[in-house]
A and B are shown apart, each in its own frame.
Chain A
């Protein structure tokens, strides 16, 4: 899978409040489907459907060896998505820090402005 396709799956999986709540729960430790279904007013099959989406996106995994088949968080994929947004943020932030400096300069001496080079 291409990195961009992986991101598509990750962002699509994250674009649902129930799935985000499931991830938040799994951030505190592994849990079974029954345990995950409890806080939501949802049937087990409905929760299982959400879990499949998360699993396909690589955001969670199943421990197939354990009898309870608990789900656990796979933090790496989530980190990739955060990293992608962070790169956008960093790009803008660098610009805006230069703008901060310019605005400060313009306010300090509105008439005799010093031109700064990047």
Chain B
């Protein structure tokens, strides 16, 4: 088993996540840039990913959307690729799409997401850096928006499973 993801806060506006994978870099790159692969892992427990369009080239756009399996609520992210250097670095500007959910998350400024991959002896190290427009946006992305919504949906799912058991 790979070591769990590590999170650090390099500055007021950033979150950095570091994780290793027991796979060659090209494969990890593919899993991040080919929609049919992205759909299989990127998302949230209890959510389907009906929309995953990605045009991975500088200036190309993408659109991700998730749908809650229980209550049908939807949200997503969309944006533009600003750097693409296969298979080592991809950067995109990401906007939050509140879909049909009533979320207080700010929609305005993009979050700059960079993913860097390096390989040593068949093990790939991924460094994902999120740079938010402001400290408030960084803290808000987690504390007011999605996770609360997700925790609620987990709660509903738990209830559903208990009822079915």
Q: Which residues of A contact B144 (CB under 8 A)?
A: 4
Beta-carbon contact of A106 and B27 below 8 Å? yes
Q: Which residues of B contact A100 (CB under 8 A)?
A: 1-2, 21-22
Q: Which residues of A contact B100 (CB under 8 A)?
A: none
Q: Which residues of B contact A118 (CB under 8 A)?
A: 40-41, 43, 45, 47-49
Q: A92-B128, A102-B31, A118-B47 are in contact. Are A7 and B21 (CB under 8 A)?
A: no
Chain B interface: which size bin?
35 or more
A-facing residues in B1-47 (Cβ within 8 Å) = 1-2, 4-7, 9, 12, 15, 17, 19, 21-23, 27-28, 30-31, 37, 40-45, 47
Beta-carbon contact of B43 and A92 below 8 Å? no
Interface of B is mostly: mixed
A-facing residues in B95-150 (Cβ within 8 Å) = 128, 135-136, 139-140, 142-144, 147
Q: Which residues of A contact B147 (CB under 8 A)?
A: 87, 91
Count chain A CB atoms within 10 A of each CB in B17, B48, B128 and give the residue with the most. B17
20 more A-B contacts (CB under 8 A) besides A92-B7, A96-B41?
A4-B136, A4-B143, A88-B17, A89-B7, A91-B142, A91-B147, A92-B5, A94-B45, A96-B21, A98-B40, A98-B43, A100-B2, A102-B31, A103-B22, A103-B23, A103-B31, A104-B23, A106-B37, A115-B40, A118-B47
A residues within 8 Å of B by Cβ? 3-4, 7-8, 11, 84-85, 87-89, 91-96, 98-104, 106-107, 115-116, 118
